[in-house]
A and B are shown apart, each in its own frame.
Chain A
Amino acid sequence: EVQLVESGGGLVQPGRSLRLSCTASGFTFGDYAMSWVRQAPGKGLEWVGYIRSKAYGGTTEYAASVKGRFTISRDDSKSIAYLQMNSLKTEDTAVYYCTRTYCSGGICYATYMDVWGKGTTVTVSS
């Protein structure tokens, strides 16, 4: 069964750091890009960023709201994607979803997110 499981969420003070993990199973992790999407309480979906597969350079893209503060990385040997969040702000409070993202024909389609985890909750508060 194809599955993504996020972990690492919790309560953190503003200005501190937190690292989320996304453990994948049921598919060849290295063949896919991996993305993070968040949803603030009662709000819509917001794309955080993604990391391409190694075959497509393993490079990253980020939303303007998190660029310079958040870093996405991956460990293909463990089938895990990470979201390192630094200098957290209260507005980063959200459920964070990990998603599998499709790449083909030389392009990673960042919007093509076909598998989602259940999410992990991050609360930034003093």
Chain B
Amino acid sequence: QSVLTQPPSASGTPGQRVTISCSGSSSNIGNNYVYWYQQFPGTAPKLLIYRNNQRPSGVPDRFSGSKSGTSASLAISGLRSEDEADYYCATWDDSLSGVVFGGGTKLTVL
């Protein structure tokens, strides 16, 4: 059971906007930055969003992150087939003194 809760799956059609939620508590999301990672099958994860809503160089602006209270969201607009991947949220947990990940959300582009 992950400390951060994500839906196990999400889906959308090309061009749609999809959001993936990440729910935590005051000891983690509520008091720390949220990060999002994208992982394609058989490959290493890649940093997608840092510090709640910042995109690293090279990440399309179709990807956006937000945080409110003890929850965070990743939004993908203009969905493309190449966005089909697993997405993980992560943050620091003050109580555990460590990094915690969500269980991951498998995004399917229909």
Contact = CB atoms under 8 A, between A and B. Distances in A.
Interface of A: 35, 37, 44-47, 49-50, 61-64, 97, 109-114, 116-119
B44 A44 contact: no
Interface residues of B, number: 27
A116 B45 contact: yes
B35 interface: yes
Interface string B66-101: 000000000000000000000010111000111111
Interface of B: 2, 32-33, 35, 37, 39, 43-47, 50-51, 56, 88, 90-92, 96-104
Contact of A111 (B2, B44, B92, B97): B92
Main secondary structure of the interface of A (DSSP, over half): strand
B45 A63 contact: no
A37 B88 CA distance: 13
Contacts of B56: 114
Contact of B101 (A47, A61, A64, A109): A47
Main secondary structure of the interface of B (DSSP, over half): strand
Given A111-B91, A117-B44, A47 B50 contact: no
Contacts of A110: 92, 98-99
Given A45-B37, A97-B45, A111 B90 contact: yes
A4 to B, nearest CB: 9
Given A97-B45, A112-B47, A119-B44, 8 more contacts: A47-B100, A47-B101, A63-B99, A111-B90, A111-B92, A112-B35, A114-B47, A117-B44
A64 B93 CA distance: 12
Contact of A63 (B32, B47, B92, B98): B98
